[in-house]
Amino acid sequence: MDLILNELENRFGVTNRDERRNDLSFATVGRQTAVEVITWLRDYAGFRHLVMISAVDYPERDSIQLTYLLHNHQTRKDIGLRVVLDRREKTMDSIHHLWAGAQVYQRELREMFGIDFPGSPGVDKPMILEGWREMPPMLKEFDTKKYSEETYFPRPGRFTMEPQTVMENKLYPIETEVKNEIRSIVRDNRSNGGA
Partner 1 sequence: MDKEKDGVLATIEEARKSFNEQDYYCQELPKTVQPVANKIVRGFYNWAQANSLWILGFGTGCGSIELPPLFTPRYDVARFGIFPRPTPRQAGVFIISGYLSVKTLKRVIRSYEQMQNPKFVLGLGSCTVNGGMYFDSYNTINRLDYYLPVDVYIAGCMPRPEALMKGFETLKEQIRAGKAEGANHYVENLEWYKANQKQIIKDWDMPEYNW
Partner 2 sequence: MKSGASSAITVPTEAHSDRTDRLSPWNPFWARETELDLDSGRYVKIWQGPQHPGVTGNMALEVTLEGDVVRDCKTHIGYLHRGFEKLMERRKWIQCFPIVCRICVPEPDTNEYLFAAGVEELSGVEIPVKAAWLRALVLEMIRVASMTMGLGGQAGAYGLGIVGQWAVVHRDYMLDLFEELTGGRVYHMYILPGGVRQDLPEGFSGRMEKVLRMFENLIVDIEKVMFDNAVFKARTKGSGVLPREWVEPFGVTGTTARAAGVPLDVRKDNPYLIYDQLDFEKIVGGESDIYERAFLRKEEILMSIRLIRQILKRMPGEGPVRRKLPNVLHWQVQAGETYVRAESGRGEMGYYMVSDGGEYPRRVHVRGASYTHAMALLEQMARGQSIADIAGLMVSLQTCPPEIER
Residues found near partner 2 in the complex (CB under 8 A): 18, 20-21, 23-24, 26, 48-52, 54-57, 67, 69, 73, 76, 78, 80, 96-101, 103-105, 121, 126-130, 137-138, 142, 144-145
Of residues 21, 76, 88, 153, which one binds partner 1 by CB under 8 A?
A: 153
Q: Which amino acid is at 35?
A: V
Instruction: Write out the DSSP string of 152-195.
Output: S-PPS------HHHHHHHHH-HHHHHHHHHHHHHHHHHHHHHH-
> How many whole angstroms separate alpha carbon 166 and alpha carbon 75?
55
Q: Supply the minimum distance, in Å, between the C-beta of residue 7 and partner 2.
A: 22
The three-state secondary structure class of 161 is coil
Task: Note whether 143 and 137 are within 8 A (CB).
Answer: no
Q: Using N-to-C axis directions, what is the helix angle for 34-43 and 2-12, rounded to 10°?
A: 140
Write the CB contacts of 145 (distance below 8 Å, at least 6 apart in sequence). Answer: none
Between 10 and 74, whose beta carbon lies closer to partner 2?
74
Phi, psi (rounded to 5 degrees) for 60: -75, -25
* Residue 73 contact among partner 1, partner 2, none, beta carbon within 5 to 8 Å by kind: partner 2
190 binds, among partner 1, partner 2, none (CB under 5 to 8 A by kind): none
Task: Indicate the DSSP class of residue 45.
Answer: S
Q: Per rule CB under 8 A, is residue 193 in the interface with partner 1?
A: no
**Which residue, 5 or 138, has its beta carbon nearer to partner 1?**
138
Residue 130 makes contact with partner 1 by CB under 8 A: yes
60 vs 134, beta carbon nearer partner 1: 134
Q: Which does 154 bind (CB under 5 to 8 A by kind): partner 2, partner 1, none?
A: partner 1
Nearer to partner 2, 1 or 98 (CB): 98
48 binds, among partner 1, partner 2, none (CB under 5 to 8 A by kind): partner 2
- For the bound state, the minimum distance from the C-beta of residue 153 to partner 2, rounded and expressed in Å, comes to 18
Output b/e per residue, 74-102; b: 16+ Cβ within 10 A. eeebbbbbbbbbebeebebbbbbeebeeb
- d(C-alpha 103, C-alpha 117), whole Å: 9
**Chain residues in the site for partner 1 (CB under 8 A):** 129-133, 137, 142, 144-145, 147-149, 151-155, 157-158
